[in-house]
Amino acid sequence: MKSTNNKFSVAPMLDWTDKHCRYFHRILTKQTLLYTEMVTTGAILFGKGNYLDFNVDEHPIALQLGGSDPNALAQCAKLAQNHGYNEVNLNVGCPSDRVQNGMFGACLMGNADLVAKCIESMQEQIDIPVTVKTRIGIDDLDSYAFLCQFIETVLPYTNTFIVHARKAWLSGLSPKENREVPPLDYERVYQLKRDYPNLTIAINGGVKTIDEIKHHLNYVDGVMVGREAYQNPMLLAQIDSQIFGLDTQPIDPIAAIRCLYPYIEQQLLQGAQLNHIMRHTLGIFNGQKGAKQWRRYLSENAYKKGAGIEVVEHALNFIQ
């Protein structure tokens, strides 16, 4: 079984980590593993859009799938490999009602045998790695013994688990509350790595700084960062040197925006709207003078018909 480098990754985030976001993040970091938004098997197999579309410059890239039908997942995994993805990830962590109604996401933690069958079916069809993103528990099934039982049932078919260090409440909490209310338990994920040293264990949840990433890497194999990487994207500009040890300097944020220009021009010619691209860049100047004006000008002008690079250049004038 091949493996991807899960030392640092940006989490799959619904409505956020689309292809425009990933292209922008790749400008900031060359080594980070990038994930798609979660895509359901139904959307891929029966939807009208091209849900597997990505730019070749996004590599390394992983597709996160939502589903619980082994055959449908296997079909989608094969399509993902044919499209050039580096990894396929099964979502066993999302707690939203919509996901539960489709019998996938965090509710699958309660059916480890089905998860194992899903992973096995995908592995039979592809050569790229299949990984699992999960929680430490669901509802009252939140003991360490339950987590270990889940891992042991699934591990014959995968060696990589990305573990959000919170349990999920399947009822009573919104997806946003499920990201914030259940307490973080990093030690439980560390213990998982100690007890299963041959597995690749990455940790997710509440990580915001380079120092925190480095601390976690003393205990686990990888760190996945979500909202902080999106809202404060210049964090990603430090990853190649600080986490992967490359002799590189972080890109200047203005230079990073201008590196987007050829991509913007290409996408606009294909019918994209400027605001759909630039919304992912709004936080790049956080803490700098003029950042608020940058965000405001883009928000008020990038959506207008015919808006192009001249709008971005004008917005950059506010940055000092």
Catalytic residues, by residue number, are 94
Instruction: Tell me how far CA of residue 216 lies from CA of 134, 141, 186, 202, 207, in angstroms.
Output: 17, 25, 9, 9, 9
DSSP string over 272-302: --HHHHHGGGTTTTTTSTTHHHHHHHHHHHT
Euclidean distance between CA atoms 63 and 43, whole angstroms: 13
